Amino acid sequence: MPDRSNALTPDALVMMDTIARTGSFAAAARELGKVPSALTYSVRQLEEALDVLLFDRSSRQAQLTAAGTELLGEGRRLLQEMDAVANRVRRVASGWEAQLSISVEDILSVPTVFELVQAFCDLREGREGREGHGGAGERQAPATRIRLRTDVLTGTWEALVLGQVDLAIGVSGQHVNPGGIELRLLGDVLFVFCMAPHHALAALEGPLTDAQLVHHRAVAVADTAQRMAPATVNLLPGQDVLTVPNMRLKMDALLRCLGCGFLPEPLARPHLEAGTLVQKEIARGNTVAQMHYAWRAERGGTAGLGRALQWWLAQLESPTTRRALLERHAGPLC
């Protein structure tokens, strides 16, 4: 009996597809440039290898059995995947990375991030004018898969330094650069101290002191760093703390009067305007965070980078894009 691993080849799958599509061995043989007897022999070899009947011999037409129908369906899928792999390999050879991993700081605009992803997908699917470098190679759509993750505080920097991501958007400029990392300014984010209108601190007059704040629960977002020292921001010694995994949940906790804490002003703005959150001044002042984006440098500058990373860096050079990432939290995601 022929070995099934040797019998189930791309040529055998193409033969099955051709027979089923043309409706007869004779027609399939003409299309494939073979004699009908050679095609019949190949089918019998395949049936022996799989130990199944693929065609109903009682019919004058090329009638598939249930097993043959299953093989045809799976075979067509495998042929499509093989074509996709071949195309992908050719595209990667043109300079597009197989995958681009991006860490986005939790405080940045989710709608803007997905708009950038959509623009990249449109480029990939040919629905957008070719951008970037020009030339004949630009006619090839990127083969790059995008992998997004969200990190908080030091975790965003750690993901880049440890090589877990290729691009980090929203890192502090205060980290020690181990070398080989390029940093560019994204912009400043103002953090304001907020609470629900029925929170006990909301009724107090004047800037709030640390002596007043320490008696009230703070809501904080956990730093996602695993190997580097996580950052602790705006928490007082001895203060009760409710820790949540992201800024949106922190805002929900504040709306439910589960505590008080700092929020990015653009994120809090709709609730402040609606009166569902109250902003209070504190004696030590509000916090301004300077955000950057960073990537691992290559010799030759950006010209030595993969084309997908170059595309994302080009988008981040736009002041409009940077401002939207910092400020525009409202808006549809599709």
For residues 196 and 49, membership in a common domain is answered with no
Q: Note whether residue 40 is domain-resident.
A: yes
Please compute Rg for the chain using Cα positions: 30
For residues 283 and 192, membership in a common domain is answered with yes
Strands 55-56 and 63-64: antiparallel
Confidence grade of residue 232 (pLDDT, cut at 50, 70, 90): confident
Cα separation of 224 and 5, whole Å?
46
Q: Note whether residue 244 is domain-resident.
A: yes
Q: Note whether residue 63 is domain-resident.
A: yes
Q: Note whether residue 245 is domain-resident.
A: yes
Region 215-227: mean pLDDT is: 94
> For tokens 């505080």, what's the residue?
153
Closest CA to 103 of 179, 181, 178: 181
Cβ atoms of residues 253 and 195 within 8 Å: no
Cα separation of 98 and 92, whole Å?
6
Give 215's contacts (C-beta < 8 A, 6+ positions apart): none
For residues 27 and 166, membership in a common domain is answered with no
- The pLDDT score that the predictor gives to residue 96 is 85
Q: Domain containing 224 — which CATH number? A: 3.40.190.290
Confidence grade of residue 58 (pLDDT, cut at 50, 70, 90): confident
- The pLDDT score that the predictor gives to residue 287 is 87
For residues 277 and 297, membership in a common domain is answered with no
Confidence grade of residue 273 (pLDDT, cut at 50, 70, 90): very high
- The pLDDT score that the predictor gives to residue 219 is 97
Q: Domain containing 301 — which CATH number? A: 3.40.190.10
Closest CA to 217 of 200, 231, 192, 230: 200
Cβ atoms of residues 149 and 159 within 8 Å: yes
Contacts 24+ apart (CB under 8 A), 147-151: 147/99, 147/100, 147/101, 147/102, 148/102, 148/104, 148/113, 148/117, 149/101, 149/102, 149/103, 149/104, 150/103, 150/104, 150/105, 150/106, 150/224, 150/246, 151/103, 151/104, 151/105, 151/106, 151/224
Q: Note whether residue 332 is domain-resident.
A: no
CB atoms inside a 10 Å sphere around CB 257: 15
Q: What is the DSSP letter of 130?
A: -
- The pLDDT score that the predictor gives to residue 138 is 45
pLDDT by residue (tens digit) across 35-55? 989 988 999 989 888 889 998
Q: How many domains does the chain have?
A: 3
Its domain, for residue 312, covers 102-186+290-327
For residues 295 and 284, membership in a common domain is answered with no
Among residues 93, 124, 149, which one ends one of the domains?
93
For residues 241 and 182, membership in a common domain is answered with no
Asked if the model's pLDDT at residue 183 lies above 90, the reply is yes
Q: Note whether residue 106 is domain-resident.
A: yes
